[in-house]
């Protein structure tokens, strides 16, 4: 609907006001939740759309200023005559924030489009042979299907794609999320409760055996 409104000069401003919160939300999710690289197509396109909307909004800045200046006295009078409006607004905003917090908690702790038996946060406790290139923590994400995040001892993080087959006990990790492959890691896994044993090769390196311990979290486990 917002896109259709942009096609006409008289409704372009309304279209911008409808689309701007949506695009800002998309950019925020791509940047801080999914963490797409800056050059990734989805994030790049979102920035382009956001920039275009801001340009259209800039053309109507004077119109918005005149509107609020002209309606300033009317809005102030309305607030004095109807003090309950402020309370109603507070209830609406609080409800929206509460609903958003509930949905965010559900997404992070319950929802999972493709659960795997090794989902969770795992700390590396032993590696043979030892290597400084191995991550100290591996996060097989609950609420992002096939996403794995490496946390290294120096604080650096990397996001990749993982595929854990519960039948064959194989584990493949590729460099780009949602692009299956084994260019980062190829091997096998075996889980015993809160202990995860992984054997395989990192890229072109020699085979390595790793033992991880699972961090307990208030989330649903997938056996």
Q: What is the pTM of this model?
A: 0.55
Domain count, the chain: 2
Per-residue pLDDT of 39-90, as tens digits, reads 667 778 888 999 999 999 898 888 887 776 766 665 555 555 566 666 777 8
CA separation, residue 168 to residues 115, 134, 161, 191 (Å): 16, 24, 18, 13
Looking at 58, 81, 104, the residue that finishes a domain is 81
Looking at 63, 81, 99, the residue that finishes a domain is 81
Would residue 111 count as lying in a domain? no
State the pLDDT at residue 201. 93
State the pLDDT at residue 204. 76
Give pairs for 207-213: CB < 8 Å, separation 24+. Answer: 208/127, 208/128, 208/129, 208/131, 208/134, 209/127, 209/128, 210/124, 210/126, 210/127, 210/128, 210/134, 211/124, 211/125, 211/126, 211/127, 212/122, 212/123, 212/124, 212/125, 212/138, 213/122, 213/123, 213/125
Would residue 204 count as lying in a domain? yes
State the pLDDT at residue 74. 59
**pLDDT-based confidence at 28, cuts 50/70/90?**
confident
Would residue 101 count as lying in a domain? no
The CA-CA-CA angle for residues 89, 94, 98, to 5°, reads 150
pLDDT above 70: percentage of residues in the chain: 79
Q: Is residue 192 reached through a cis peptide bond, with omega within 30 degrees of 0 on the bond before it?
A: no
- Measure the CA–CA gap between 32 and 71, rounded to whole angstroms: 38
- Cα within 13 Å of Cα(4), Cβ side: 1
Same domain, 69 and 156: no
Same domain, 15 and 76: yes
Name the token pair of 17. 């006001």
Would residue 158 count as lying in a domain? yes
22, containing H or E segment: helix 12-28
Same domain, 19 and 67: yes
Could you tell me if 161 and 174 are in contact, meaning their C-beta atoms sit under 8 angstroms apart?
yes
Same domain, 77 and 125: no
User: Whole domain around residue 67: which residue ranges?
Assistant: 2-81
Give the pLDDT mean for 160-165: 95
**pLDDT-based confidence at 215, cuts 50/70/90?**
confident
Would residue 201 count as lying in a domain? yes
**203 has a pLDDT exceeding 60:** yes
Would residue 106 count as lying in a domain? no
CATH number of the domain encompassing residue 173:
2.40.128.270
Would residue 154 count as lying in a domain? yes
Per-residue pLDDT of 101-154, as tens digits, reads 777 666 666 665 678 899 989 999 999 988 768 999 999 987 778 999 999 988
Instruction: Tell how far CA 29 is from the center of its chain.
Output: 5
Same domain, 126 and 206: yes
**222 has a pLDDT exceeding 50:** no
**Of the ranges 152-156, 180-184, 192-196, 213-217, which one carries the lowest mean pLDDT score?**
213-217
Looking at 81, 111, 143, the residue that finishes a domain is 81
Q: Greater confidence, 199 or 112?
A: 199
- Measure the CA–CA gap between 223 and 146, rounded to whole angstroms: 16
28, containing H or E segment: helix 12-28
**163 has a pLDDT exceeding 80:** yes
């Amino acid at each position: 609907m917002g896109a259709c409104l942009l096609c006409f000069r008289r409704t372009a401003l309304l279209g911008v006001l409808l689309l701007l919160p949506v695009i800002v939300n998309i950019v925020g999710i791509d940047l801080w939740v999914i963490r797409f690289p800056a050059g990734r197509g989805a994030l790049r396109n979102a920035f382009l759309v956001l920039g275009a909307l801001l340009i259209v909004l800039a053309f109507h800045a004077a119109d918005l200023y005149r509107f609020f200046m002209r309606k300033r006295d009317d809005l102030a009078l309305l607030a004095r005559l109807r003090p309950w409006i402020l309370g109603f607004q507070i209830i609406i905003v609080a409800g929206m924030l509460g609903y958003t917090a509930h949905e965010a908690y559900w997404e992070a702790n319950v929802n999972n489009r493709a659960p795997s038996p090794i989902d969770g946060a795992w700390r590396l406790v032993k590696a043979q042979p030892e290597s400084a290139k191995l991550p100290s923590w591996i996060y097989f994400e609950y609420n992002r299907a096939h996403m794995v995040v490496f946390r290294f001892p120096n604080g650096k993080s990397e996001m990749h794609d993982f595929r854990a087959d519960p039948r064959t006990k194989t584990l493949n990790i590729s460099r780009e999320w949602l692009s299956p492959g084994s260019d980062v890691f190829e091997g096998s896994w075996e889980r015993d409760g809160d202990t995860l044993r992984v054997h395989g090769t990192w890229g072109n390196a020699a085979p390595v055996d790793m033992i991880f311990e699972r961090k307990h979290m208030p989330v649903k486990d997938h056996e």
